[in-house]
Chains A and B, each alone.
Chain A
Amino acid sequence: KAGVTQTPRYLIKTRGQQVTLSCSPISGHRSVSWYQQTPGQGLQFLFEYFSETQRNKGNFPGRFSGRQFSNSRSEMNVSTLELGDSALYLCASSLASAYQETQYFGPGTRLLVL
């Protein structure tokens, strides 16, 4: 079974731009969660999607948004980029519940904001 894939793997943007990251979950998985990982804050939960609906949301500003498609693929968008948005963005999928089952992580997208 193919694992979680994320594209692109690396991205360089400038302040004020916007960016869209993509995540394809493991086949059959319907829950997709997004995390931001930085050296200072560690892994922080952004949001979770299940069956095309946002089910949970972390404490991030409205510039961070996402969506999920009918095939469970998910996209995350960050508008008006700030230097502090530089981070590794990880996507994880599970069958139905993010904390009652194992979450499988993708390799991440490394975003650098200049």
Chain B
Amino acid sequence: DIVMTQTPLSSPVTLGQPASISCRSSQSLVHSDGNTYLSWLQQRPGQPPRLLIYKVSDRFSGVPDRFTGSGAGTDFTLKISRVEAEDVGVYYCMQATQFPWAFGQGTKVEIK
């Protein structure tokens, strides 16, 4: 099974400053169809998760452009260019390249 490891697990950030979250998979996430099924989700307190980024770097509809996904193979990154108060929450990476699908442990983004 593929294991997803996120770092850091907690990220205190000053408003207006950037934040970066790393996600590493135990195996390559390149699917036999050539796609890489790595997504990023945000979960605000008390809310269900929300899709931010899919297929590594495609921003989902309505997601602000301050969120950027990048990476390849086994190493992926989510960057928030300038953190806003509404960005507080837990961020998860998820792989859907191989069953069983798997989430990372989550990274809590909070304001300093």
Q: Do A and B bind each other?
A: no
